Amino acid sequence: FLGIPWDPVVLQHEVVLTNLTGLNPYEPSTKQVIHKIYTDSLAQWTGPDSVLDMEFIQTAHQESRLLQLLGYANVGNPPNYDALPSSIPIFRF
């Protein structure tokens, strides 16, 4: 919606930041920004310890029109978020 093209380097920002200067080491948020984006829990909602009903987990991405429009119908179960399209459609409501 901003009209800015997606750049996958955003997901590896910690690599780029090490080459930049100007990050204030005394700024508390600097310590957070230099860490890799936490992705370990992305698929945990589909796991055996999930509070969601297994039937819902297996069918939600196929039965939801919004998830289909966003490309989530094709990411599998457990979801492989790398399979998402690199661009998202423009919605008109």
Say whether pLDDT at 68 is over 70. Answer: yes
Structural domain containing residue 26: 8-37
Give 47-59 as a DSSP string: STT-SS-HHHHHH
The b/e string for 33-51 (b: 16+ C-beta within 10 A; e otherwise) is eeeeeeeeeebeebeeeee
- Same domain? For 21 and 47 the reply is no
- Same domain? For 33 and 45 the reply is no
Q: Classify residue 17: in a domain, yes or no.
A: yes
pLDDT (tens digit per residue) in 24-55: 878 888 777 777 877 778 888 888 889 999 99
Q: pTM (2 decimals)? A: 0.53
Q: Classify residue 2: in a domain, yes or no.
A: no
- Same domain? For 52 and 30 the reply is no
For the chain, what is the domain count?
Answer: 2
